[in-house]
Amino acid sequence: MTELIPTSELPDSSDPDHLVKRSRGGFFLGAPVFLWMGLFFAIPYLLLFLQSFWEPTAFGVARDWSLDNYREVLGASQLAGDIYLPTLFKSIKIGAMVTAFSTALAFPLAYLLAFKVKRSRNRMLLYTLVVVPLWASYLLRAYAWKVILGQNGLFASMLSILGLENTFLSDLLYSEAAIVIAMTQIFTPFMVLTIYAVLERLPQNLIEASKDLGVGRLSTFRRVVLPLSLPGVVAGATFTMGLSSGDFVAPMLVGGESDVMIANQIYSQFGATNNWPLGSAIAFVLLAFVAILVWISTVAEKREQI
Amino acid sequence: MTDAVAEKSQDRPVETGSDSAVSVSLRNAVKRYGDVTAVDHLDLEAKQGQFLTLLGPSGCGKTTTLRLIGGFEELDEGRVRVAGQDVTRIPPYRRPVTTVFQQYALFPHLSVRKNIEYGLKHGGLNRKEIDSRVTEMMGLMEIPEMGDRRPRQLSGGQQQRVALARALVMKPPVLLLDEPLGSLDYKLRKGMQFELKRIHREVGATFVYVTHDQEEAMTMSDRIIVMRDGQIEQDGRPKEIFDAPKTSFVADFIGDTNLVDGTVTDSRDGFVTVDLGALGRVRGTSEAGLASGERARVSIRPTDVRVIATKGQGAVVTDAVLAGTHIAMKIKAGENEVTAHVPRGSSPSPGETVLLEVESERVRVFEAESE
């Protein structure tokens, strides 16, 4: 005969105390993360935000509240003229170009990887080739481009060997184009990975179903593969757009004197110019732009889900 | 008329006569994956409007055979013909067949209506014709009000209907179905079996249906092909397959059966007598051409066994459980154990001794398997 356990001795999952105990445990487990994020992420951001409303003085900051910094950034101040907003737009333009080029490069590569390379060894090899650049630090890769595209660099000496020093090709050195090239190379692997992740999970039988219904290869790509890979493209593009329009290393290393991007201006406000409040204000305008970008892509993704 | 033509027409009188009625045919079809031969010199023919089922355990090559017809796999040897056209080297999107896939393969980013009209957009129809055909098909599938939903908002049974509608709206002469009921629960599956039968009658296309579920095959098919190791084990109407299995594999696969090995003692007039040791002798029908002294395998359906209680002699009942409408009984005699399904009521209980009886017409005798 089996003995029945009285139900009163079993832990009752509907008991509110029981639930409280559980959630408290979760809180303690999560505490280190909250602490870390609070100390090194939330508080610095908050300080920066407060600072963006303060006034710079000769050697520091005066805590006088005003919107002057934002006025200056948005070009509404007579004193500074209109320099930050055009730089922001230029940064966005460069970011958009980098995003467009790396998407154009990454999509075929991800497609190849997901559908055309059948042997797992070859796929592994190709995948590794895509990932390997990520193992080197970003700074190192940007420097590599300086070696290639910089003064007396690989590209410059190649041009001089070919006798093309003073043609349009030499315009590539220290230019906006150099910035775009360097950042495209840097961000393409991220794009490949996000697009590949989506394509790899695309059920093969959807492609078969399309062909089965009399639809050829190109139309199948347009009507099934492309729309279903869009979430990956949007995710990768958001990522690339956000990071590349806020970049300051590539313009510093391979850009020319006039090719300053918005992040370089923030950098100089915190450095040489020593105007932290203005730097903070520029940073928050840039942050607002990125936040809008992320919001748009989230909305786009949600609509795709339904 | 020249002699050569006359000779040719004399050569193949049967084929020319029945060509129009043949909807799908595979000739000497071979498909290999590395060292494995999935489909092994297979010949198959489905008549126009037939409901043909390919039945077999997993790995028997039934799905590969279906994919060869659909064009998703290329033949290593042999030819495929569909609706009178040689399609051996024709890609799937130009073949006159459509498929209902195992996991339905509905396009998740398109509404139900867009899913169904997907293939029609390339058919040169105008908007009005497309709309009317889609609406008609949704009526036939009894899903008229679901057009705006996305596949993920539908139940399994509804998705199934959309998949069927999407394939049938193309008006294919041949519809391929790859275990379409596999992921539905038992009750829905039973319901859909009758639905499929109704739809088959209404559209009149040839259905080639793949399943490993013998009950499903028995319920729906006009004809069943039992496959094993890439070859046809038996081809016939459901009743033939059930009542007169050609091999012990088929007997075992279709419905429950007892398979007992023994030695042939007598063979005459299509009946063979086999000595089953402690179980005694049994007479059964056979096409194996067995002679006295040969080893044989006997198939006896549990429902055909009659159990008669004796006092102190014969086989012993080891177990008896109530299985709904009948009692499933295990009976042991020497080395052999036999299952019998007997009606509920006064029946022997475990421990009692019994005598087993079975009608010779219901017993099948095969060659012994050498495994």
Could you give the C-alpha distances from A39 to A28, A35, A45, B353, B361, in angstroms and in order? Answer: 17, 6, 10, 84, 87
Range from A232-236, B49-53, B279-283, B285-289 carrying the lowest mean pLDDT: B285-289
Categorize the per-residue pLDDT at A3 as very low, low, confident or very high, splitting at 50, 70 and 90: very low
* CATH code: domain of residue A123: 1.10.3720.10
Give the percent of chain A with pLDDT over 90: 38
Domain locations in chain B as residue ranges: 20-248, 256-367
pLDDT at A120: 86
Q: Does residue A15 belong to any structural domain of this protein?
A: no
Residue A160 is predicted with a pLDDT of 82
> Of the ranges A141-155, A175-189, A282-296, B37-51, which one carries the lowest mean pLDDT score?
A141-155
Say yes or no for a CB contact (<8 Å) between B109 and A304. yes
Q: Give the pLDDT confidence score for residue A171 in this predicted structure.
A: 67
Return contacts of A170-173, CB within 8 angstroms, 24+ apart.
A173/A149
For testing contact with chain A, the best of B93, B125, B208 (most A CBs within 10 A)? B93
- What is the mean pLDDT of the segment spanning A262-271? 89
Mean pLDDT of chain A: 84
Q: What is the domain count for chain A?
A: 1
- As assigned by CATH, the class of the B256-367 domain is mainly beta
- Angle among Cα A191, A197, A198 to the nearest 5 degrees reads 100
In a domain, A235, yes or no: yes
Q: What is the mean pLDDT of residues B61-76?
A: 94
Q: Give the pLDDT mean for A105-114.
A: 94
CB B174 within 8 A of CB B208: yes
Bridge partners of residue B37, in order along the sequence: B32
**Is residue A40 pLDDT above 70, yes or no?**
yes
Choice between A281 and A171, residue whose per-residue pLDDT is larger: A281
- pLDDT above 90: residue A116: no
- Which residues does chain A have within 8 Å of residue B103's beta carbon, measured at their own beta carbons? 203, 205
What's the length of chain B?
371
Distance CA B319, CA B310 (A): 17
Res. A26: pLDDT tops 50: yes
Domain that holds residue A239: 75-305
Cβ contact B1:B59 at 8 Å: no
SS3 of A156, please?
Answer: helix
pLDDT: which is higher, A27 or B336: B336
The reported pLDDT for the residue numbered A180 is: 93
Residue A148: name the closest of A255, A258, A254 by CA. Answer: A254
Q: Does the CB of A224 have a partner CB in chain B at under 8 Å?
A: yes
Q: State both tokens at A16.
A: 């509110």
The shortest C-alpha distance from A222 to chain B (Å) reads 13
Q: How far apart are CA A131 and CA A124, in angstroms?
A: 10
With bands split at pLDDT 50, 70 and 90, how would you rate the model's confidence at B2?
A: very low
Domain covering B20-248, topology: Rossmann fold (3.40.50)
Does some domain include residue A86? yes
Q: Is residue A214 part of a domain?
A: yes
Q: Between these two residues, B7 and A217, which has the higher pLDDT value?
A: A217
| Per-residue model confidence as pLDDT tens digits over A67-91 | 888 888 887 665 556 788 888 899 9
Which residue numbers of B have CB closer than 8 Å to A's CBs? Answer: 70-72, 91-94, 97-99, 101-103, 105-109, 118-119, 122-123, 150, 166-167, 170
- What mean pLDDT is reported for chain B? 87
Q: Is the pLDDT of residue B18 over 90?
A: no
